[in-house]
Amino acid sequence: LYTAPDSCQGRCEEPYHEEDECHCNAKCERHHNCCEDYHTHCSPEGFSSSHDAIMDEDLLHISEQLYHADHNRAKPTDIAINPQYQVSPDQTGDQEDHSPEPLYQYVNEELFSKPTYASFIKLLDNYQRATGREEDVTAEELREQDNFLKEVMKTELMKKLFTFLHKKNRYDSEQEFVADLKEMWFGLYSRGSGEQDSSGFEHVFSGEVKKGKVSGFHNWIRFYLLEKRGLVDYFSHSYDGPWNTYPDVLGMQFSWDGFYKEVGSAFIGSSPEFEFGLYTLCFIARPGRVCHLSLGGHGLSIQTYTWTKSTYGNRRNYIATAYVISS
């Protein structure tokens, strides 16, 4: 299912990336850096044909499709932000509040009544933010997970993503895709000492606190709702994306209940299904590596990491984290 970094399954003729553990194109034999299963998968009679590989051009094309299918994104009149002070990259750890005003001056909260937003927001209070504390998942919370997946799968964006992954032989059916989404994003694993205390969704979208620092927390809706309640204090930003509309991208410094986040990158104004879909795409296509995309003609990259200490199903990996980076 996954293009595992140490395997050629689904990666035959994938372009060379220096960060890859091993390689699966025709030149790897000459350079003695092929993955061990190169001949199993990439020889003419191999299991995984080259047309199943997700090439860099495929990612640029499908990400543009997903960008244009994000019909639920905020309009320019829906959000007004006030980024204020920009710090240099070497100042992000200073923990100084350079911005006296909130980041969000205005958000049209009618956005939050859209089904994907409403079902997403219901998930945000389902988690203990401190790592090392066991998550107690109720029947209602499981229903909320299922409802969110049901709502996002109604969107054109997620249907396009499934169609792309289906053509690449990653999933046989939409039912299989949804079942895997639930495991990879909501399946619990331990960031502490064996407690089932974390999941990809909690880390990326809701945020966690580990060793006195904010961990994860890459979502604009979560940030806005907590800032409105006085629980998040915006300090500064170190990166502002090239867009003059939404989704924008900010790399932010902030305090959450006194816990500091040195760089919390986030899309601003995108729909929940947009982030969920892009992170899923990159986790499946480039797990543990930089995933280069094109959004509205602008180049942008997403970094994902797999959780390597436990697996589900047939040795599939959970999402450890996913976030947008500037290049």
Tell me which residues are annotated as active site.
203, 218, 261
Written as one string, the DSSP assignment of 178-189 is: HHHHHHHHH--B
Token match 């996913």: residue? 322
Contacts of residue 57, Cβ cutoff 8 Å, sequence gap at least 6: none
**Which residues have C-beta within 8 Å of that of residue 109, sequence separation ≥ 6?**
none
CA atoms within 13 Å, Cβ hemisphere of 116: 22
Rounded to a whole number, what is the distance in angstroms from the first to the last CA of the chain? 27
- Distance, CA of 100 to CA of 236 (rounded, Å): 10
Per the CB < 8 A criterion, the answer to whether 11 and 3 are in contact is yes
**Separation of alpha carbons 280 and 132, rounded Å:** 26
Going through the chain in order, the beta strands assigned E by DSSP cover 79-81, 104-107, 208-210, 213-215, 232-240, 248-256, 259-268, 290-295, 298-312, 316-325
175 is written with which tokens? 């039912």
